[in-house]
Chain A
């Protein structure tokens, strides 16, 4: 009986027509939940996501920075190496030029030295010759006086003897001056 009454009562309800109380309760509940999620849940998640994104981006940025630094160092090393190579080449060139210079200098010096030695020898020879000539001249004077003495001493009697004496003298003279002329 109870059943029947209940069934009769509730059978009249149209499920498509909303109950005002349910709409109000539904709205209030929904707005309450929305408030909680908007106020507490969403901001926390968004902060977390932002942090996470920042962390990942920071990591990427750091890696990029490290890469850039490495690149920079590499370029620096390369530049230094090239510089060193250029320096070495320059030094080599310098050395070669210097060597050549030294060689030419030495050569010039040697030539000068040899010229000097030759010149010295020549002057020495000249001096010696002059000395010898001077000596010979003195000797010649003495010999002339000697000869004149002898000629005068032998009394000029014989033409042939005289000629013989002169000839002897001349040949004698030749004999002394010949080594000096050489």
Chain B
């Protein structure tokens, strides 16, 4: 922000990649790192507090926590993995969902205003280092080494000449693309969304203080920024949901008896 205010004096500098890499707060610690730690503290504290004294007939707070838990448990894990196998994966899916969700929502919370997931390292850590090993591990465990490779790369009923084409594609997709796209999807959405908000907010600010007739159009930029904020809120929740949904989907596909 300091950059922009200084720059606004002379000439409008469009926000860019540099706005996502602010100088560290102290030492090597940067804002997204602090936010990430804050997020797990918030989620952990919320769930521990909510589950401390569970009752058969829930109160308001417990109901809220239960609803959140049920999204991870019933509408994502059970739907995607199947009622038979989903139980052990509920904590993982719930963690993925809440972790991504809170870190995304940081982009909207005043003062914080930074979606942690717009740094690709964080979603990448979850998708490539957690989800990817988990679903391949359970797949190999369920079907055996060769069985799982066949299961993942050879859709039943495909004729041989299609298989020649299909096996490399399926292999590439299942073992390289899926975890990467999973991370890139949420990263790109957060990055682009935050950039859009920056553009409209900073442009409005510039127009307001640049002097002259441009002051009149400044509110338009702010109106757009507010509208986009609502859109961003939707996208943030949606991206967290999609990340958890696809994670569960990959696990479900790896465990499924047939395609």
List the interface of chain A (C-beta within 8 A of B): 2-3, 6-7, 10-11, 13-27, 29-34, 36-38, 40-42, 44-48, 51-52, 55
Contact = CB atoms under 8 A, between A and B. Distances in A.
27 contacts: A6-B23, A7-B13, A15-B120, A17-B120, A18-B121, A22-B33, A22-B125, A24-B125, A25-B122, A26-B122, A27-B125, A27-B129, A29-B36, A29-B37, A30-B130, A32-B44, A33-B99, A34-B95, A37-B47, A37-B94, A38-B95, A41-B94, A42-B91, A42-B94, A44-B51, A46-B90, A52-B56
A55 B28 CA distance: 53
Nearest to B57: A52
B121 A15 contact: no
Contacts, number: 134
A11 B17 CA distance: 7
B130 A31 contact: yes
Interface string B61-99: 000001001000100000000000001001110110011
Nearest to A9: B18
Nearest to A40: B48
Contact of B56 (A14, A18, A31, A48): A48
Given A29-B37, A37-B91, A18 B44 contact: no
Contacts of A45: 51, 54, 66, 69, 73
A38 B69 CA distance: 12
A42 B94 CA distance: 9
A14 B2 CA distance: 21
B144 interface: no
Interface residues of B, number: 48
Nearest to B16: A11
A179 to B, nearest CB: 119
Contacts of B191: 15
B115 interface: no
Given A13-B17, A26-B126, A41 B40 contact: no
A78 B13 CA distance: 94
A2 B33 CA distance: 24
A40 B48 CA distance: 7
Contact of B54 (A11, A19, A26, A44): A44
A1 to B, nearest CB: 9
Contacts of B113: none
Contacts of A41: 47-48, 51, 69, 91, 94
Interface of B: 2-3, 6-7, 13, 16-18, 20-21, 23, 28, 32-33, 36-37, 39-40, 43-44, 47-48, 51, 54, 56, 66, 69, 73, 87, 90-92, 94-95, 98-99, 118-126, 129-130, 191
B91 A34 contact: yes
B3 A3 contact: yes
Contacts of B73: 45
A25 B36 contact: yes
Contacts of B98: 33, 37
Nearest to A41: B47
A6 B18 contact: yes
A10 B92 CA distance: 35
